[in-house]
Amino acid sequence: MTPITHPLLDKSGIKHGFFTREGGVSEGLYEGLNCGVGSKDDPAKVFENRRRVAEWFGRSSDDLCGCYQVHSAIAVVADDGWKGERPQGDAVVTKVRGPVATVLTADCAPILFADAQAGIVATAHAGWKGALGGIIAATVEAMSVLGADPRRISAVVGPCISQASYEVGADYQARFALEAAGSERFFAEGTSPD
């Protein structure tokens, strides 16, 4: 099990990783490293996968801190491991050693944040609703409240769906144009009729 890391966070000394399906025990539809406790996978296999992820960080499963993700702009602070609890939200922020801030994604964007100097890290689940709704700004704000300096925060986006693989209707583009001026540059002509 070798997660994908990023040089920007590697040089800061922050242990981090974007995990793939590699190294897990789940089978069938969930084959691999499925860590989704809300999935219909065998709970014992999910527990083992989560144990493996926690072990990679040198921690226990009780230290994993991941929200019940709701495509929101809610950033939750973790002062200790959550021992299986999952408060609603889409970002986890911590300034203490011990909790492992996590996020689960399929096609949404996982984002890792770090102010290495302040020792403050965060993860965010940024689907289109959360991104449009402000999850990134909420994460940076929660980090700032804990003492991070936004000018020192490094952020990396992990594996997610790409523009070429995600076709949307004109109504979706219109919503972005209304709520996020300048966003039209991120849209391209599709192949399907409206």
Euclidean distance between CA atoms 52 and 62, whole angstroms: 12
Whole-Å CA distances, 160 to 14, 19, 84, 106, 165: 22, 12, 25, 7, 10
pLDDT tens digits for range 97-156: 999 999 999 999 999 999 999 999 999 999 999 999 999 999 999 999 999 999 999 999
Instruction: Kindly report the pTM of this predicted structure.
Output: 0.92
Give the pLDDT score at 60.
97
Q: Give the domains, in start order, of the chain with CATH numbers.
A: 7-186 (3.60.140.10)
Q: Would you say residue 193 has pLDDT above 80?
A: no
Mention every residue, 6+ apart, whose C-beta is less than 8 A from residue 89: 67, 68, 69, 70, 72, 74, 75, 76
Hunting for tokens 């809300």 — which residue is that?
Answer: 38
pLDDT at 94 over 60: yes
Q: What is the pLDDT of residues 14-69, one digit of tens each?
A: 999 999 999 999 999 999 999 999 999 999 999 999 999 999 999 999 999 999 99
Token couple for 13: 């000394």
